[in-house]
Amino acid sequence: MNSNPIALELRNVTKSYGGVAALREGNLRIAKATIHGVVGANGAGKSTLIKIASGVVRRDGGSILVNGMETDLRSVPDALAAGIVAMPQELTIVPDQSVAENITMGREPSVLGFTTTRRSRVIARKLLREMGVSLDVARTAGEIEPAEQRIVMLARALHTGAHTLILDEPTAALNAAQAEVFLRVVSGLRESGYSVVYISHRFNEVEELCDEVTILRDGMTVDRLSKERCRQDELVAAVVQDSALSERVLREKPAQPNATPAIEMRNVSGRILSDISFSVRPGEILGFCGLAGSGVNEVMEFLGGVRSPVSGQLRAAGQEMRFDSPAEALKRGVTYLPVERAKAGMVDMSIRANLVTASLPQISRLGFVTQEMEDAFSNSVLSNLGLAHRAHEPLRALSGGNRQKVLLGRCLLADARVVVLDDPTVGVDVRARADIHELLGRFADQGRAVIVAVSEPEELLSVADRVLVMNRGTIVAELTGSEITSEALVRAATTSGKVGAFEVVATA
Ligand SMILES: Nc1ncnc2c1ncn2[C@@H]1O[C@H](COP(=O)(O)OP(=O)(O)OP(=O)(O)O)[C@@H](O)[C@H]1O
Ligand SMILES: [Mg+2]
């Protein structure tokens, strides 16, 4: 074990919500100037543990020690005073404000009570430079890349002056190249003496980055691994335990080559896209990948009916359909899971409300819908997803990954002919990831067309029948069956030479 003094320790911490235990026995010991991983399945209690450590949630029992001294963290300001700050799992960028304003938010520099834009830019620029990142602080935060938004959140955390930083799945929505840049910044923080808690479902990152790892299972800390044991295989075994993950089932019935396409795009051009055409047959799983800015996200948005292109045509089952209308897409049997889940889910509403909005045509065929019917439908979706929650609970009561499963379930279980999913496995644990892949195969076997975009191309190896690789608004490669190898995917996506979403000016 690391011999540095302990920066932060949680002993037998507990937390219940309405009589249900979220955390039964949380233990965590973080040595100074180290990166400490926290892993566990969806709902294991990771976010709850670190919310307690950062004063966001008050513990029911147990103790917290900061630099060896018992400290009662009752609130976020308490935790900040003790030098602890958390960067939450959810994106907390204010989109219409500048990068500088987002970084200094809540601690704006002021002169006679007036905040000054200039001061705030100077501070933001200095912080980013120290992190080794080049990013224009005057830009509007809503317009920068997702990876850059995470960097901005990290800069905001550093601006508080805290020395213990807690990062909850910061790279979940980033592609491999972006995540690498983010990880480089985090490992620079360790060199500068910060203590970092790092939660992730991406075990390759944990292996690469962490000095120690704490394993959580069902609300309990069950193990603590030293550096030598922080290997991907050990981590998978610790989280999944002994039962095997679902393997890729090679589907026997490939799509009928002569069938009318379930959905088709013809000569579509948009903000990024330039003259894109492709079609998907019933029963086929088409994968999309490409680096940030390649246009994949725009393709998904057009298919989902949330935005319309400059020119081109969209056809579902041989008939022309309108873009720009999610309702029309749904009516034509196209369901869509956007990459920005905050837009898709209503956290204050019940699970039932979240499921029923997308599936109403399916359960209202009789012309009326009773609350009992909605409940029965929702509960069957939940049990299909392996979730022990009930329909009336608010979405807020679910862990991040489990919310994700509900939103995915809503797309998959609606009676759709075409399922469009933008990065469906963000934030889900290893087992759920394998289950989701299997589920996609099942849907294709039922004759639906599945279109799936991913941020990690590797993921397509285990799901896609065919892959379109995009670069700068055009399709640069089409791979089928055994042509889909990780090497081919990466080569096709990176031929333009652009690697990450932003450059690193110096290694921090
Ligand atoms: N506000 C809340 N109200 C009720 N239950 C909650 C609340 N927050 C969390 N829980 C429950 O506590 C348990 C632990 O949730 P937590 O968010 O800590 O999991 P997690 O390990 O972070 O999972 P994930 O990997 O999905 O983010 C879950 O069963 C969750 O449903
Ligand atoms: Mg969580």
Rounded distance between C-alpha atoms, residue 162 and residue 81, angstroms:
8
Which atom of ligand 1 lies closest to the CA of 219? 14
In the reported structure, the alpha carbon of residue 400 is separated from the centroid of ligand 2 by a whole-number distance in angstroms of 5
Q: How far apart are CA 51 and CA 85, in angstroms?
A: 10
What ligand has the least distance to the C-alpha of 42? 1
C-alpha 300 – ligand 1 centre gap (Å): 30
Instruction: Please give the full DSSP string across 23-54, using - where no structure is assigned.
Output: EEEEEEEEETT-EEEEE-STTSSHHHHHHHHT
Nearest to 394 by CA among 58, 91, 48, 17: 17
- Give the containing element (helix H, strand E) for 260: none
Backbone angles phi, psi at 506, to 5 degrees: -150, 150
pTM above 0.85? no
| Per-residue pLDDT at 496 | 45
d(CA 130, CA 386): 45
- Of all protein residues, the one whose alpha carbon is nearest to atom 31 of ligand 1 is 398
Burial of 112 (0-12, 13-18, 19+ CB in 10 A): exposed
Q: Beta-strand (E) ranges in 411-499?
A: 418-422, 449-453, 466-471, 474-480
CATH number of 252-333+417-499: 3.40.50.300
- For residue 15, give the ligand 1 atom closest to its CA: 12
| Residue 29 Cα to ligand 2 middle (Å) | 19
Per-residue model confidence (pLDDT) at position 501? 37
Q: From the CA of 389, which ligand is nearest? A: 1
Residue 107 token pair: 């601690």
**What distances in angstroms separate CA 84 from CA 123, 441, 467, one per listed residue?**
20, 44, 44
Same fold across 1-83+162-244 and 252-333+417-499? yes
* Residue 345 pLDDT: 61
Query: Which ligand is closest to the CA of 429, given by its number?
Result: 1
Q: Tell me, which fold does domain 1-83+162-244 have in CATH?
A: Rossmann fold (3.40.50)
CA 397 to centroid of ligand 2, rounded, Å:
11
Ligand 1 atom closest to Cα of 393? 4
Reported as a single tens digit per residue, the pLDDT across 200-245 is: 988 889 999 999 999 999 899 999 999 999 888 888 888 876 555 5
Q: How far is CA 306 from the centre of its chain?
A: 20
pLDDT score recorded for residue 251: 61
CB 50: neighbour CB atoms within 10 A?
25
Pocket of ligand 1 (CB under 6 A): 17, 22, 40, 42-48, 396-402
Which residue, by CA, sits nearest to atom 3 of ligand 1? 397
407: which 2 tokens? 């939103």
pLDDT at residue 498, rounded to an integer: 39
Kindly give the distance from the C-alpha atom of residue 383 to the centroid of ligand 2, in angstroms, as a whole number: 21
pLDDT at 494: 65
Closest Cα to atom 29 of ligand 1: 43
Q: Under the phi-then-psi rule, with left for phi > 0, alpha for psi from -120 to 50, and beta for the rest, what region is 218?
A: left
Contact assessment for residue 116 and residue 490, using Cβ atoms and an 8 Å cutoff:
no
Considering just the CA atoms, what is the radius of gyration of the chain in Å? 23
Cα(445) to centroid(ligand 2), Å: 32
Q: Whose CA is nearest to atom 7 of ligand 1?
A: 397
Rounded distance from Cα 223 to ligand 1 centre (Å): 20
CA of 43 to the centre of ligand 1 (A): 5
Beta strands in 103-182 (DSSP E): 110-111, 114-115, 164-168
Q: Which residues of the chain fall below pLDDT 50?
A: 247-248, 363-366, 496-508
Report which ligand 1 atom has the smallest distance to the Cα of 216.
Answer: 21
Q: In this structure, what DSSP letter does residue 255 have?
A: P
Nearest CA to ligand 1 atom 24: 42
Distance 402 CA to ligand 1 centre (A): 8
Cα distance between residue 86 and residue 73, in whole Å: 13
Query: Looking at ligand 1, which atom is closest to the CA of residue 40?
Result: 21
Query: Distance between CA 288 and CA 207 in Å, rounded?
Result: 28
Residue closest to 250 by CA, chosen among 489, 449, 462, 486: 462
For 64, half-sphere exposure in the C-beta direction (CA atoms, 13 angstrom radius) is 23
Q: Which ligand is nearest to the CA of 21?
A: 1
Longest dimension (CA), the chain: 73
CA 401 / ligand 1 centre spacing (Å): 9
Q: 48, 87, 90, 341: which to mutate for ligand 1, most atoms within 8 A of CB?
A: 48
Work out whether strand 84-87 and strand 276-280 pair parallel, antiparallel, or are unpaired: unpaired
**Ligand 2 ion: Cβ-proximal residues, 5 Å cutoff:** 47, 399-400
Among candidates 27, 26, 33, which has minimal Cα distance to 5? 33
- Specify the residue with its C-alpha closest to ligand 1, atom 5: 397
CB-based burial label for 187 (10 Å; 0-12, 13-18, 19+)? middle
**C-alpha of residue 173 to centroid of ligand 2, in Å:** 14
Q: How far is CA 370 from CA 351, 358, 413, in A?
A: 16, 16, 19
Rounded distance between C-alpha atoms, residue 109 and residue 431, angstroms: 46
pLDDT in tens, 348-383: 788 888 887 655 555 444 455 677 777 887 888 888
CA 260 to centroid of ligand 1, rounded, Å: 44
Q: Give, using CA atoms, the residue closest to atom 25 of ligand 1.
A: 42
Ligand 1: nearest atom to the Cα of 46:
21
Q: What does the alpha-carbon distance between residue 268 and residue 140 come to, in Å, rounded to a whole number? A: 28
**What integer pLDDT is reported at residue 443 of this predicted model?**
83
- Size of the chain, expressed as the number of residues it contains: 508
For residue 389 the two structure tokens come to 């929650």
Among 375, 373, 442, residue whose Cα is nearest residue 413 = 442
Number of the ligand 1 atom closest to the C-alpha atom of 402 = 26
Give Cβ neighbours of residue 343 (< 8 Å, ≥ 6 apart): none
Q: How far is CA 436 from each of CA 247, 423, 429, 431, rounded to the nearest angstrom?
A: 11, 11, 10, 9
pLDDT at 245: 53
Q: DSSP letters of 340-366?
A: -HHHH--TTSBHHHHHHHHHHHHHTTT
| Contact by Cβ (8 Å): 394, 348 | yes
Residue nearest to atom 13 of ligand 1 (CA): 22
Domain ranges of the chain: 1-83+162-244, 95-161, 252-333+417-499, 340-415
